[in-house]
Amino acid sequence: MTSALSRFLTLKQIRRLAGDTSFRRGQAYCERGQVRSRVVHGDTLTATVTGTETHAVRLAATDGNLEELL
C-alpha cells in the first residue's frame, strides 16, 4: 500500500512548497549531511536539520496536498 506522503513527496513538490532559495539551501544541507533523524510516521515526515540553528521540519500529506506543519 502506498501512503499519501510517498505520492506527494517529490522534488518538484518540495521545491514548490519551499521556493527556489529555500530548496537550494535545503539541498546543500542534505548534501553536507545536515539533515538528520528522518522519521516517517503515517503520512508525516519529520526531520532534524542543523544549520545556523538546529530545528525540526515536518511535512504531511493532507487532503491531497503536501504541507509544512508548524
| CB contact burial 29-52 (16+ within 10 A = b; e otherwise) | beeeeebeeeeeeebebebebeee
DSSP character for 14? H
* pLDDT tens digit sequence for 36-65: 888 888 888 899 999 889 989 888 877 767
**What confidence score (pLDDT) does residue 45 get?**
87
Give pLDDT, residue 24: 93
> Quick one: pLDDT at residue 34?
95
What integer pLDDT is reported at residue 33 of this predicted model?
Answer: 94
The pLDDT value recorded for residue 51 is 82
Please give the helix or strand (H or E) that residue 39 lies within, else none: strand 35-41
Q: Where are the domains of the chain?
A: 4-65
pLDDT, one tens digit per residue, over 7-29 is 767 888 778 877 899 889 889 99
Q: What is the rounded end-to-end Cα distance, in angstroms, of the chain?
A: 27
Distances (CA, A) of 21 to 15, 16, 35, 47: 9, 11, 17, 19
